[in-house]
Amino acid sequence: MSKKVFDMVDLETIDALAEMVKEKHLDEITIADGEQVITIKGKKCPPPPPAGGMPMPPRFHEGGMMPPIENAPMQSPAQAANSQSEFSGNIVKSPIVGTFYSSPSPEKPPFVTEGARVKKGDVLMIIESMKLMNEVQSEFDGTVEKILVQNGEAVEFDQPIMIIK
């Protein structure tokens, strides 16, 4: 004979009820006998996102909130390839998908500007990805000829960011 819990239900019945909660994806089942209550709770799943998708959380940076990203048209891979052929020099590409920032914080000056001399190892930009700020260093010595993206713009992996001659 199986042991009863609160002299109301045996453990085998509780196991069967727990299995029913799991199989039918129920939130819970409650059995009460006077003041004795047994509740079996299932795993709660988060509610589905609203039809418009999840709202974007505010973006933070070393100095506080970042300015909103402007709605800039994205380049197709073909457009990016064409823009690469338009420039000569060393093309600095984004090493990851993320957001391009030209300075360490909104109040600070950019790491580099067009016409600036850079050496191998100098920080050129920050790419924010998954809330991490990734400094991108120059692989070349030379002069920044052209910066191809705007501050706060989303960038793709391997997208050209700037030209160094």
pLDDT tens per residue across span 74-102: 555 545 544 445 667 899 999 999 999 99
Q: What is the pLDDT of residue 71?
A: 47
Give percent helix, percent strand, percent coil of the chain, each to the nearest 5: 15, 35, 50
Q: What is the DSSP letter of 7?
A: T
138 has a pLDDT exceeding 90: yes
